[in-house]
Amino acid sequence: IKGGTKMLKEKLEFTEEKAVYFLESENEKFGPFDEVQNSFNGFITKVQIENGYKFGYVDAERGEIIPPTYEGFIPEYDYQKHEIAGFIFVQNLQLGYIDRDGKQIIPAKYYSIGRVKGGFTVGQIDEELESQQKEEPLYDWEKETHINMGFCDENGQETIPCLYYAVKKVLDYYIIQKEENGKLGLFDLQGNQILPFEFEDIQPTNVVVAAKQGGQYGLYSPEGELLLPCEYKSIKNYGQDYELTKPDGSKQYCDKTGKIIEDIERE
């Protein structure tokens, strides 16, 4: 594998007990490993233990980022930057996250982790719902798994606890669905609730929040103050102002405070 100023290659050697692998460049040698697996611009490394393997990662350019210490391992690749973005790892059947430099950002305590813009969606099993399942299925894949979702920021801080059916980060807000088929609520980045779980749709902008209730849209401030009642078929950004479409199709315009503009000129 070529990467920067280095070239790593596998080298198989034999000991009295077994065959082992090393990864070598002109100046460095990593190993021994029981297995190596080519992955993006590096190698996933494996060391055999009594009940399986421990996993690590050697980058073709930067060397051994992570020694083989984890029970499971999934490198994540940034296809826009063409480099490793980080690693999801497994310890005691729980997932955590390591950044591209090998620093553990999120400890292994989640059932699921998803890397998204601005942080991570994380999930934990809802033990109460799991215990309510009366019949054990014949196969594990038939069992329904109930997961509560939350959110961690870029530093691994859990800003939204794992209490909800779905969590999505949009701009400087979290849009949260409390339960399946339930209404949406809005939270700020500190986890404070701005809008209650009473809306079918929430569309934040950098200035105001459009929210749908009872099939109609209204306008709210970033602090959750009602600017315009939910009486409009749609609300769209129109330059510095907002275009309001009434149920009958007629249009009005308002500014960012919700004030109706009567004399605005339109093409």
DSSP string, 196-249: EEEESEEEE-SS-EEEEETTEEEEE-TT--EEEEEEESEEEEETTEEEEE-TTS
pLDDT at 118 over 50: yes
pLDDT at 148 over 50: yes
92-118: average pLDDT: 94
**Half-sphere CA count of 6, side-chain side, radius 13 A:** 19
pLDDT band at residue 98 under the 50/70/90 scheme: very high
Instruction: Evaluate whether 189 touches 159 at the Cβ level (below 8 Å).
Output: yes
- Residue in this structure with the two tokens 């994380």, named with its chain if needed: 122
The predicted pLDDT at position 1 comes to 45
pLDDT exceeding 90 applies to what percent of the chain?
63
Query: Tokens at residue 147, please?
Result: 């997961």
Query: Tokens at residue 74, please?
Result: 């999934």
> Out of 16-20, 28-32, 51-55, 200-204, which region has the weakest mean confidence (pLDDT)?
16-20
> Out of 22-26, 103-107, 129-133, 139-143, which region has the weakest mean confidence (pLDDT)?
139-143
> Out of 84-93, 124-133, 161-170, 181-190, which region has the weakest mean confidence (pLDDT)?
124-133
For residue 180, give every residue at least 6 positions away whose Cβ sits within 8 Å of its Cβ, in sequence order, or none.
165
Query: Tokens at residue 125, please?
Result: 């099993």
Amino acid (1-letter code) at residue 8: L
User: What's the pTM value of the predicted model, to 2 decimals?
Assistant: 0.79
For residue 131, give every residue at least 6 positions away whose Cβ sits within 8 Å of its Cβ, in sequence order, or none.
none
The predicted pLDDT at position 267 comes to 47
Q: Please give the Cα distance from 241 to 171 (Å, whole number).
A: 19
pLDDT band at residue 57 under the 50/70/90 scheme: very high
* Chain centre to alpha carbon of residue 112: 9
The predicted pLDDT at position 250 comes to 92
- Residue in this structure with the two tokens 């909800």, named with its chain if needed: 164
What rounded mean pLDDT belongs to the chain?
87
Amino acid (1-letter code) at residue 49: I
> Out of 23-32, 126-135, 189-198, which region has the weakest mean confidence (pLDDT)?
126-135
Quick: pLDDT tens for 191-223. 899 999 999 999 998 899 999 999 999 999 999
The predicted pLDDT at position 149 comes to 96
Q: Please give the Cα distance from 62 to 198 (Å, whole number).
A: 50
Instruction: Evaluate whether 89 touches 102 at the Cβ level (below 8 Å).
Output: no
Instruction: Evaluate whether 197 touches 182 at the Cβ level (below 8 Å).
Output: yes
